[in-house]
Structure 1
Amino acid sequence: MHCPCRGKLKLLLASLSFIVLLTWLYLLAGNLENGRSLLLSPCVVESTEARLLERDVLESRVREVEEENRQIRLQLSQSQSLAAQPAEGNYGNQQWVASADTGPEDVENTAEERANHSECARSPTAEKCELIHVACVCAGHNASRDVVTLVKSILFHRRNPLHFHFITDTVANQILSTLFQSWMVPSVQVSFYDADELKSEVSWIPNKHYSGIYGLMKLTLTKALPSDLSKVIVLDTDITFATDIAELWAIFKKFTEKQVIGLVENQSDWYLGNLWKNHKPWPALGRGFNTGVILLYLERLRRIGWEQMWRLTAEKELMSMLSTSLADQVIHWNSPKKLRVKNKHVEFFRNLYLTFLEYDGNLLRRELFGCPSQASSESTKLQNALEELDEDDQCYDFRRERIMVHRVHLYFLQYEYTSTEDDTDITLVAQLSMDRLQMLEAICKHWEGPISLALYMSDAEAQQFLRYAQASEVLKNRKNVGYHIVYKEGQFYPVNLVRNVALHNAKTPYVFLTDIDFLPMYGLYDYLRKSIVHLDMANTKKALVVPAFETLRYRLSFPKSKAELLSMLDMGTLYTFRYHVWTKGHAPTNYAKWRTATTPYKVEWEADFEPYVVVRRDCPEYDQRFVGFGWNKVSHIMELDAQEYDLIVLPNAFMIHMPHAPSFDISKFRSSPGYRYCLTTLKDEFHQDLSRKYGSAALKYLTAQRNI
């Protein structure tokens, strides 16, 4: 064992990469105050000797704890069952701290530390109802998606109130703020901090790591987080917890007055740099230390001048190192390849990760019994609205659906959009569920403009969609498609709520409101943009009608022109949409006139008219009382007419409905008298609301309905 002499330690520290630069700073802080090491493992190691062991000693220790690792795996599985027990459980019985992004290797480290420090099994616990603070740096679409799995694993095991602190860019802020606002998890607070304001703090540091500038922002947390926040757990986004985060928080109680930071040693031998000839992964001391999980005692760091310390040290080390190369570990769950890694523990941790990846987030809205309620204003408003409903009402389930708040994850995949200079751009807006997924590729081939899609799915289905999109050459090459997940909850398909999510997140001045089972004609995107200019939609209230047709054939030679479509109509290959089952829905389009029309023509509203239209993005939203099947589009067109939009049919535009099996909701409508009764009741209430909103001008809708 080497003597931890001061001179040799300084010499070794000079060769650390930037992540281990953190370690050097912690040691420096200790030397400044009392000459002791301040670096902490998860069990708060009091000495640096364990990190200076020779390779053969380390290998020997690994062999000695093989049996201990088996016990750890058993305890991990037990910890999951313990987490499901009432909140009064004994934290001390759960001896595993957390499964970080290198789960299998961290098990070995935990076993090692427990072998050397038996007091780890008797770790202190967090106080009941004590607020635990967690910080993450999260930027971009992918990291925002990854962090949800981390949050799920924390919420699953937690028994304490939580406060998440997210340092985000604009994209992640929008995604996560919407997600948490709609998630409404009791006793969870969320705060956001602008990463752009911190870039200048670290952008001067040359960096070669894939995380880029955001990986260095953890250095700025003493400045970024509130000055009255005394301590925080800092986590990477690609971590999965295997037990209560309170056990990690409780380690702060083991800090001495001079200790400020907790880290764990990297576990892979890759970091030792001698796996093969000329293998030099970094100029670090041993394996170095991982910053995927950090305990930061912010109050003490500020007191010792942390901001000045890390800057001065970084400037000094960059004179010889030239750039930083942050540490990576063997197993992250941030790429498909990592899930195929070979490791004796990986099956357990892979299953743990996949479990939370597809876990129903709605089940995590449970209250913390025995702790003061910290309900959000949205949650309180929802609860009050639910209490006002009459549970004996025959249509209670329909009314409840209208006010239900669904979890929403915006921009589930990478999204890029650049606005056009002429302000005529238009987004195709639609909604779908898992059974319509096969339409996506075809629509992308027919419509080259931006698309906003809301997908009504469970957590597990969302992951299936993700794999589908990532495997599709068509979809993964289209970055101007915004996919927004509305998570399933309740017994009805909230079709208009889902439509509104897609509508509200369109980025263009105009929107084409359609359904996912229609294919627009080739070139419709450009034709609509020209029509927007020609019809002066910027200064008038118009809804441009795109005539709808249908085929009963699953394989169709799609018409390339209006003339070809008319020929197919005459041959019986195509039909006007729903002419044989729901003529009123599109009859006012006046298909006979459209056949010979060469200029746009105006049509009048008629009862049950539900065309597909192009309107300005600031149009009325869909009425969310209509769920499942029936009147969801009819009510929207009615309100457009009430607001005096002119309905203009485009003479050279068309779209074709592709055949598919009937939806579950239309089957319920056809088979359930109660369903049909409630739909009629909702129609009557909608008419009454429309009359109150638009006065006598809306009486024609009630009259038209009675004449049907």
Structure 2
Amino acid sequence: MHIGIVCAGHNSNLYLHTLLKSIYFYRVNPMHFHIITNKASKQILKTLFDSWNVPQVFVTFYDMNDFLHDVRWIPNSHYSGVHGLMKLVFPKAIPLTVTDKILVLDTDLTVVSDLYDLWKLFKKFIGKQAVGIVENQSDYYLGINTWPAINRGFNSGVLLYKLNILKDVGWPNLWSNITKKAALFYGSTRLADQDIINAVLKEHPDLLYEVPCVWNTQLSDHTLSHNCYKNAKVKIVHWNSPKKYKVDNRDGDYFRSLAIGFQEYNGNLLRKKLQVCDIAPVIITNESEEFCAEFRNLLNTQFRTMLYFREYDYKPVENDVTFVAQLSYDRLQRIEELVKFWAGPISLTLYVSDAELVKCISFITSSDVLKDRTNIAYHAVFKDGEYYPINKLRNVGLRNVQAPYVFLADIDFLPSKNLYVNLVKHITDMGTLKKKALVVPAFELQKMGTSIPRNKRQLLNKLEDKSVIPFLSNIWAPGHAPTDYEKWKTAEEPYQVQWKPDYEPYIVVYKDVVEYNEKFVGFGWNKVSHIMELEAQNYQFVVLPNVFIMHTPHTPSYDIARFRSSPIYRLCLQMLKEEFIMKLNKNYNRHFEYTNSSMNLMNVYLRRRKRNFVLPGSQTTVETNTDYPSNSE
């Protein structure tokens, strides 16, 4: 089946995501989507299709700009603007060498049946029939001053185009000539392409094939669709009102439940194959590989990703810096706190289920703090598997930054007053950050309820009374000790520090910085490995004297608990660490030290497990939320 869709803008992208889930749920045939879109939405949709990786689904994108001249001249007052006219160009855009027929769908549909049954209606076309369409389920075209239509007219939310016939009749010239004549008499179109298609069918009824009404059950404010579905089962629900799911309809609650059901449905479950294939068994060469296979397999996991799920309007400016962070749904409210102290652009990647994404959008939309901020890029990576893919999330945010510089941070930190302004000033003063990482010193509150210092003077006072301490200094000092907090207390100018093992500062760098290593998931070594690779690339680490970030207390994550309680988790992490350092040494001709003890420890554990023993060090009482596990663990 070939399916054409026009999609541009963050709302349309979200509607398409839900539409695809409803299509995939029922389909039993391969599909080829033909999507007319703009540059911004192409990036989003291509990422979605590629990361979803549904078997036997193909997609071709068409640049909307290539067809603007075909429709831009049309006087049109519909709220969708020029996008609402683009369905007219599919017969021109798609060559017959690809397909001679295509279904064309609006994005605001919910499919509740197999589209192949709609596709099969092409076999019933006779003669010159080339436009399959459902009757309009309102009396709009029976009113006055409307564009011409046959009786009640037809709704263009679902179209069946017989492309070979439309090409034979010269479709582009046919509809454009009729449009020019109608516009002179009736004025601008009110329903975009629908008015034009109705005018064409009025003049050339031989092109018309009337599709059963259940294939386009229209839920506008004045719909008469109940006259259709009272005698037949609905196949497609069409939310053809500016209100969309909020439309006032006698059976609205029932139809909304269908749409919301697909909004919240786990799209990962739709990666089902259309035929049974023989799958080669996974061969485990030894027990240690079996234990760590989950970690290694994560590198091959394709996490379904929806970029920019809220409106994003930002134009890069010189020396600007984007705050980059990732978070899970339970940290959502921290975004409100962050934006109060950071006026610049932000890139946030959320790890969520489909249902949680719906709640996130509702939260952001209703938040007085967030709803009008359009310089925040929100990206969704959908949950898949047990482990939190922290570096995958960081990389998604990093790849989609438009400002020249990034502040690589975490959502649990609040910036000092004017941090954003001060960072831009430091970048401007330094002239270039080539091979240079600006370190923003990190501190933490010792207990809930402690007021957050907004400047260095207040912070120094709280360091004196120990209500604030350098981040992790009481449980994992190596993580931030190279920042040299004692020097920072009196520093008035930036100063360079030397990298040391286990250093994991929060830094400002060029946005083209090397990405995080995605083999590190959950808890442990995710930031340390990144900073270590910067050291391998000969980066300078320069501490800024008049800025800081403050960590606020929160409950431990699930991955920290797993790290503390599972000796296998820690052993596998140690193995990944050793492999990473060996590769780093090879790639950069460096000589970072490592213990190379993971295999020995694993063998000890396996032998003792067979004798019902527990690996020494498997029970730890260290309370830590550091990125780095100690060797003793």
Matches within 5 A, 1:427-576: 427-538=322-433, 540-576=434-470
- For residue 699 of structure 1, what is the aligned residue in structure 2? 592
Please give the alpha-carbon distance, in whole angstroms, between the structure 2 residues aligned to 1:367 and 1:235.
Answer: 24
Please give the alpha-carbon distance, in whole angstroms, between the structure 1 residues aligned to 2:244 and 2:402.
Answer: 35
Report the CA distance between 1:574 and its aligned residue: 1.5
Name the CA shift for 1:630/1:260 in 2 (closer, same or farther; >3 Å). Answer: same
- For residue 609 of structure 1, what is the aligned residue in structure 2? 503
Residue identity in the other structure for 1:674: I
What do the CA deviations read for 1:433-481 (whole angstroms, capped 9, x no partner)? 0011011011111111111111111111111101111111211111111
Match of 2:493 among 599, 607, 610: 599
Is the 2:3–2:32 contact (alpha carbons within 8 Å) kept by the matching residues of 1? yes
Please give the alpha-carbon distance, in whole angstroms, between the structure 2 residues aligned to 1:335 and 1:451.
Answer: 33
Report the CA distance between 1:536 and its aligned residue: 2.8
Report the CA distance between 1:346 and its aligned residue: 2.3
Please give the alpha-carbon distance, in whole angstroms, between the structure 1 residues aligned to 2:580 and 2:513.
Answer: 18
Is the 1:520–1:655 contact (alpha carbons within 8 Å) kept by the matching residues of 2? yes
Is the 1:402–1:626 contact (alpha carbons within 8 Å) kept by the matching residues of 2? no
Matches within 5 A, 1:189-200: 189-200=58-69
Tell me, what secondary structure is at the counterpart of 1:614? Answer: strand
- For residue 608 of structure 2, what is the aligned residue in structure 1? none
Which sits farther off after the overlay, 501-510 or 324-333?
Answer: 324-333
Name the CA shift for 1:446/1:687 in 2 (closer, same or farther; >3 Å). Answer: same
Q: Tell me the TM-score normalised to structure 1 length.
A: 0.75
Residue identity in the other structure for 2:220: V
Please give the alpha-carbon distance, in whole angstroms, between the structure 2 residues aligned to 1:578 and 1:268.
Answer: 65
- For residue 218 of structure 1, what is the aligned residue in structure 2? 87
Please give the alpha-carbon distance, in whole angstroms, between the structure 2 residues aligned to 1:335 and 1:502.
Answer: 34
Please give the alpha-carbon distance, in whole angstroms, between the structure 2 residues aligned to 1:335 and 1:568.
Answer: 57
- For residue 62 of structure 1, what is the aligned residue in structure 2? none
Is the 1:546–1:654 contact (alpha carbons within 8 Å) kept by the matching residues of 2? yes
What do the CA deviations read for 1:172-220 (whole angstroms, capped 9, x no partner)? 1000001101111101000000001111100001110011111111111
Please give the alpha-carbon distance, in whole angstroms, between the structure 2 residues aligned to 1:386 and 1:201.
Answer: 54
Matches within 5 A, 1:76-91: none
- For residue 291 of structure 1, what is the aligned residue in structure 2? 156
Is the 2:108–2:244 contact (alpha carbons within 8 Å) kept by the matching residues of 1? no
What do the CA deviations read for 1:367-394 (whole angstroms, capped 9, x no partner)? 1117x99xxxxxxxxx999889978522
- For residue 312 of structure 2, what is the aligned residue in structure 1? 415
Matches within 5 A, 1:127-526: 132-228=1-97, 229-269=99-139, 272-273=142-143, 286-326=151-191, 330=220, 333=239, 337-369=243-275, 393-420=290-317, 423-526=318-421
Residue identity in the other structure for 1:314: T
Residue identity in the other structure for 1:346: G
The structure with the largest helix share of the pair is 1
Please give the alpha-carbon distance, in whole angstroms, between the structure 2 residues aligned to 1:581 and 1:320.
Answer: 79
Report the CA distance between 1:677 and its aligned residue: 1.1
- For residue 200 of structure 2, what is the aligned residue in structure 1? none
Is the 1:266–1:329 contact (alpha carbons within 8 Å) kept by the matching residues of 2? no
Name the CA shift for 1:280/1:324 in 2 (closer, same or farther; >3 Å). Answer: closer
Is the 2:349–2:394 contact (alpha carbons within 8 Å) kept by the matching residues of 1? yes
Is the 1:607–1:705 contact (alpha carbons within 8 Å) kept by the matching residues of 2? no
Matches within 5 A, 1:603-642: 603-642=497-536
- For residue 549 of structure 2, what is the aligned residue in structure 1? 655
Residue identity in the other structure for 1:583: A
Which sits farther off after the overlay, 286-295 or 203-212?
Answer: 286-295
Is the 2:488–2:545 contact (alpha carbons within 8 Å) kept by the matching residues of 1? yes
Tell me, what secondary structure is at the counterpart of 1:475? Answer: coil
Report the CA distance between 1:334 and its aligned residue: 7.8
Is the 1:453–1:483 contact (alpha carbons within 8 Å) kept by the matching residues of 2? yes
Residue identity in the other structure for 2:496: K
Is the 2:38–2:65 contact (alpha carbons within 8 Å) kept by the matching residues of 1? yes
Residue identity in the other structure for 2:568: G
Report the CA distance between 1:271 and its aligned residue: 5.4
Tell me, what secondary structure is at the counterpart of 2:132? Answer: strand
Name the CA shift for 1:368/1:387 in 2 (closer, same or farther; >3 Å). Answer: farther
Tell me, what secondary structure is at the counterpart of 1:661? Answer: coil
Is the 2:220–2:240 contact (alpha carbons within 8 Å) kept by the matching residues of 1? no
Residue identity in the other structure for 2:74: I
- For residue 230 of structure 2, what is the aligned residue in structure 1? none
Please give the alpha-carbon distance, in whole angstroms, between the structure 2 residues aligned to 1:681 and 1:553.
Answer: 35
Is the 2:408–2:506 contact (alpha carbons within 8 Å) kept by the matching residues of 1? yes
Tell me, what secondary structure is at the counterpart of 1:406? Answer: coil
Q: How many residues are treated as equivalent by the alignment?
A: 558
What do the CA deviations read for 1:519-572 (whole angstroms, capped 9, x no partner)? 11121111111111222324x311000000111344343323211111122123
Give unpaired runs (5+ residues) of structure 1: 1-131, 274-278, 374-382
Report the CA distance between 1:508 and its aligned residue: 1.4
Name the CA shift for 1:576/1:533 in 2 (closer, same or farther; >3 Å). Answer: same
Is the 1:390–1:396 contact (alpha carbons within 8 Å) kept by the matching residues of 2? no
Name the CA shift for 1:267/1:706 in 2 (closer, same or farther; >3 Å). Answer: closer
Tell me, what secondary structure is at the counterpart of 1:142? Answer: helix
Please give the alpha-carbon distance, in whole angstroms, between the structure 2 residues aligned to 1:576 and 1:208.
Answer: 59
What do the CA deviations read for 1:409-452 (whole angstroms, capped 9, x no partner)? 111111111111xx211111100000110110111111111111
Tell me, what secondary structure is at the counterpart of 1:507? Answer: coil
Report the CA distance between 1:686 and its aligned residue: 1.0
What do the CA deviations read for 1:129-155 (whole angstroms, capped 9, x no partner)? xxx000001111111111111111111
Report the CA distance between 1:707 and its aligned residue: 9.5
Please give the alpha-carbon distance, in whole angstroms, between the structure 2 residues aligned to 1:413 and 1:698.
Answer: 45
Is the 1:208–1:325 contact (alpha carbons within 8 Å) kept by the matching residues of 2? yes
Is the 1:268–1:329 contact (alpha carbons within 8 Å) kept by the matching residues of 2? no
Please give the alpha-carbon distance, in whole angstroms, between the structure 2 residues aligned to 1:596 and 1:485.
Answer: 42
Tell me, what secondary structure is at the counterpart of 1:615? Answer: strand
Is the 2:220–2:239 contact (alpha carbons within 8 Å) kept by the matching residues of 1? no
Tell me, what secondary structure is at the counterpart of 2:291? Answer: coil
Matches within 5 A, 1:51-70: none
- For residue 197 of structure 2, what is the aligned residue in structure 1? none
Identity %: 50
What is the root-mean-square deviation in Å for CA atoms of aligned residues? 2.5
